[in-house]
Amino acid sequence: MSPQENTMTSDTLLKVEHLSMKFGGLMAINDFSFEAKRGDITALIGPNGAGKTTVFNCITGFYKPTMGMITLQQKSGKEYLLERLPDFRITREAKVARTFQNIRLFSGLTVLENLLVAQHNKLMLASGYTILGLLGIGRYSAEAKNAIEVARYWLEKADLIDRADDPAGDLPYGAQRRLEIARAMCTGPELLCLDEPAAGLNPKESLTLNALLRGIRDEGTSLLLIEHDMSVVMEISDHVVVLEYGQKISDGTPDHVKNDPKVIAAYLGVEDEEVEQVIADVENLEGGTH
Ligand SMILES: Nc1ncnc2c1ncn2[C@@H]1O[C@H](COP(=O)(O)OP(=O)(O)OP(=O)(O)O)[C@@H](O)[C@H]1O
């Protein structure tokens, strides 16, 4: 491993350095480094099995990496070494929220209740963990009111306010995805990690999702997403990082990555020496269609 350089600037939100993750004999992530800037939507892409979810699981504390360092710098300048924290502290203190590939809502609770459960920690703290606190004496009732305001705010943003009292399980698939994102936002994250948010969405739902994600970024929460839907990635990302076989093969703007021969080769599954031929073929095809 090369010596660590301290290149954190005030706009660096997340810095992943020399990350490696081994499962038995399989090196799923191999010396992977990248940075995500505050205020950006950063996309992590790559073919199936490239290691994207493993990177997410290391950032959010579900896995402890075999090697490497993951630093999160909050707006206040406070830094957290995520690889050293248990997952609940990554959520609560470092303020990293996530959603999963499979929807994980409380389907029997209403849409609003799902958002209030997300704020449970804050409410319990305000109660002082006492029965008098819970009965509304002290800070609890003010916090409970605030929790409903926060929930309302994100329901409006996610275009779900009309469904607030319906069971979450009754919502269409795309609306459930937005509810998961709204629920994560109720925890007030600095970084929101989304694992394939557009999976299974129809084109209209996909557009609504794009608008929600841009809105979240514009309000000051940075996003890191894994996504297979390239139209979503190219449309909303500020920065794209590409993984193949656990290693970084490209890193830059959507336009840079889209035209990178290594990325084209990885997605088409061709050998490096065949890339130039593939690009020439693609250019010929494009020429033929003008
Ligand atoms: N808990 C685990 N135990 C053993 N191997 C694992 C584990 N998690 C992931 N892997 C392996 O690590 C490699 C990377 O998997 P990962 O799920 O991170 O890829 P991915 O890029 O997210 O794939 P996909 O796009 O298909 O979701 C794969 O070979 C996978 O089988």
Q: Residue 107: its pLDDT value, please?
A: 79
Mean pLDDT, rounded, for 187-215: 92
164 burial via Cβ count (<10 Å: 0-12, 13-18, 19+): middle
Mutate to test the pocket of ligand 1, among 44, 52, 193, 248 (most ligand atoms within 8 A of CB): 52
Digit-coded pLDDT (tens) for 220-270: 999 999 988 888 899 999 999 999 999 999 999 999 998 888 888 887 666
- Residue 31 CA to residue 250 CA, distance in Å, equals 14
54, 196, 241: residue to mutate for ligand 1 pocket, most atoms within 8 A of CB: 54
Average pLDDT over residues 153-172: 92
Q: Above 80 in pLDDT, residue 283?
A: no
* Averaged pLDDT for residues 185-212: 92
Bridge partners (DSSP) listed for residue 194: 225
Mean pLDDT of the chain: 86
User: Ligand 1 atom 14: the closest Cα is on which residue?
Assistant: 51
**Which pLDDT value is given to residue 100?**
74
Q: In this predicted structure, what is the pLDDT of residue 59?
A: 97
Over the stretch 13-26, which tens digit does the pLDDT of each residue have? Answer: 999 999 999 999 99
Strand blocks (E) in 105-261: 191-195, 222-226, 239-244, 247-252
Between the CA of 198 and the centroid of ligand 1 the distance, in Å, is 19
Q: List ligand 1's pocket residues with C-beta within 6 A.
A: 23, 26, 28, 46, 48-54
Question: What's residue 145's pLDDT?
Answer: 75
**Which residue lies with its CA nearest to atom 23 of ligand 1?**
49
Phi, psi of 69 (to 5 degrees): -135, 135
pLDDT in tens, 67-110: 999 999 999 999 999 999 999 999 999 999 998 777 677 878 89
Q: Count the neighbouring beta carbons within 10 Å of the beta carbon of residue 261.
A: 14
How far, rounded to the nearest angstrom, does the alpha carbon of residue 59 sit from its chain's CA centroid?
10
Return the number of other C-beta atoms located less than 10 Å from residue 38's C-beta. Answer: 18
As given in the structure block, the two tokens for residue 60 are: 């959010």
Cα 246 to averaged position of ligand 1 atoms, centre (Å)? 9
Q: Average of pLDDT values for 265-285?
A: 67
Q: How far apart are CA 67 and CA 49, in angstroms?
A: 20
Nearest CA to ligand 1 atom 1: 23
**Given this model, what pLDDT does residue 239 score?**
96
Q: Per the structure block, which two tokens stand in for 58?
A: 């290391």
Ligand 1 nearest atom to the CA of residue 228, by list position: 25
Return d(Cα 158, Cα 290) in angstroms, integer: 40
259: which residues sit within 8 A by CB, 6+ positions away? none
| Distance in angstroms (rounded) separating the CA atoms of residues 36 and 241 | 9
Q: Using the predicted structure, report yes or no on whether residue 289 has a pLDDT greater than 60.
A: no
220 close to 11: Cβ distance less than 8 angstroms: no
Note the pTM of the prediction, 2 decimals.
Answer: 0.84
- Per-domain residue ranges of the chain: 10-95+189-253, 107-186, 259-290
Distance 58 CA to ligand 1 centre (A): 12
Q: Please report the pLDDT score of residue 290 as a whole number.
A: 44
What ipTM was estimated for this complex? 0.96
Query: What's the 64 CA to ligand 1 centre distance in angstroms?
Result: 15
- Ligand 1 centroid–CA 36 distance in Å is 22
The confidence band for 177, taking pLDDT boundaries of 50, 70 and 90, is: very high
Sheet holding 191-195, edge to edge: 96-98, 191-195, 222-226, 41-45, 239-244, 247-252
Q: From the CA of 167, how far away is ligand 1's center (Å)?
A: 33
Record: fold of 10-95+189-253: Rossmann fold (3.40.50)
- Which tens digit of pLDDT belongs to each residue from 23-81? 999 999 999 999 999 999 999 999 999 999 999 999 999 999 999 999 999 999 999 99
Determine the distance separating the centroid of ligand 1 and the alpha carbon of 94, expressed in angstroms.
25
pLDDT in tens, 133-154: 556 666 656 666 777 888 899 9
Give the per-residue pLDDT at 1.
41
Please state the rounded mean pLDDT for residues 263-286.
Answer: 68
DSSP class of residue 32? E
Place of tokens 């020399």: 18
Q: What is the pLDDT of residues 106-124, one digit of tens each?
A: 878 899 888 888 776 665 5
